[in-house]
Amino acid sequence: MDTPIPGTDHARIGIIGGSGTYQLAGATVRATLDVRTPYGPPSGPVTLADVGGRTVAFLPRHASDHSLPPQKINYRANLWALKSLGVQAVLSSSAVGGLREGFGPETFVVTDQLIDRTWGRADTFYDGTVTDGVPPAGVQHLPASEPFCPTLRSHLEAALAARGLPYAPQGTVVVINGPRFSTKAESQWYVSGGADIISMTQYPEPVLAAELNMGFANLAFITDSDTGHDGSEPVTAEAVFARLKEAQRGILAVLEDTIAAISEDYAPRPLMDRTAVARIMALPAARESVSAR
């Protein structure tokens, strides 16, 4: 396993694979990188692969064997690792439940808003611990009114439309802590608060990406109607993974088309002070390494 060279732009596009997406089928693997971060090990080694002539950095969110539950994922390590490799644009895939009409099973969603109902997750790089530098990187306040990059979202939507896949061009996701599914009362409450779909992993990824000035967009795939939906069956992991298996070809095709559509000179929105970002990226790596997993 290779160790990345600090300061080298290995890839400008990063992919975080959700449940069921543990590798980029059909891609040409160039290297597997053991990335060490200040926050401990990421979900696994980062794979550099050629997809349609573009080099991407791929990381499976739950690890390659799906051994990491949602609340145990090291989200900060994952995003820091991608940024350290030169990534500017991050695309993620997620399995979600549908909460209302128009968001039924086997429909894709280009998520545009989120509601955070998680707890206990390290969801910022600016937690007051990095106090040196001028200005200090210790405390920063991210503008988060539009948590997903509009440019990347438009590319996802165009790819879905071109392939004739059923999709919703926007949707609000409520993110719960997991690993359990919601009660009926909880799901009905989320609907009353404006949520369209429900996930366990879509937070804090977009916020952490934005804190490092990376663009972020999510491709959600609805595997079930959540338990609060009228007439819905209880959600089971078996049903979720069965639908995901059937959807893998479409998910990977849309990601591949979107990768091809991202401009070589894509520039993410500069939402965070560049000096603060530089201080975070200059932090020394922790002793732990993914190779010890």
| pLDDT for 36 beyond 60 | yes
pLDDT score for 8 = 56
Tell me, yes or no, whether 199 lies in a domain: yes
Give the catalytic positions in this structure: 224, 226
Nearest to 213 by CA among 151, 268, 165, 293: 268
pLDDT digits (tens, 9 = 90+) for 223-279: 988 766 566 667 777 777 788 777 778 999 999 999 999 999 999 999 999 999 999
Nearest to 195 by CA among 203, 17, 143, 252: 203
pLDDT digits (tens, 9 = 90+) for 175-216: 999 999 899 999 999 999 999 999 999 999 999 999 999 999
pLDDT score for 132 = 64
Tell me, yes or no, whether 255 lies in a domain: yes
Tell me, yes or no, whether 6 lies in a domain: no
Across 33-53, average pLDDT: 93
Q: Is 92 annotated as a binding residue?
A: no
The CATH number given to whatever domain includes residue 241 is 3.40.50.1580
Tell me, yes or no, whether 2 lies in a domain: no
CA 99, 101, 105, 107: dihedral to nearest 10 degrees? -110
Tell me, yes or no, whether 1 lies in a domain: no
pLDDT score for 154 = 98
**Number of structural domains in the chain:** 1
Out of 57-66, 102-111, 227-236, pick the least confident: 227-236
Q: Is 226 annotated as a binding residue?
A: yes
- The mean predicted confidence, pLDDT, of the chain is 88
pLDDT score for 293 = 29
Q: Which helix (H) or strand (E) holds 50?
A: strand 46-51
Residue 135: band (very low, low, confident or very high) from pLDDT cuts 50, 70, 90: low
| pLDDT for 104 beyond 60 | yes
Q: Is 19 annotated as a binding residue?
A: yes
pLDDT digits (tens, 9 = 90+) for 2-14: 555 555 568 999 9
Q: Is 95 annotated as a binding residue?
A: yes
Q: Is 201 annotated as a binding residue?
A: yes
Tell me, yes or no, whether 156 lies in a domain: yes
Tell me, yes or no, whether 293 lies in a domain: no
Tell me, yes or no, whether 3 lies in a domain: no
Nearest to 22 by CA among 63, 79, 77: 63
pLDDT score for 229 = 57
Give me the domain span that covers residue 27.
13-284
Q: Is 291 annotated as a binding residue?
A: no
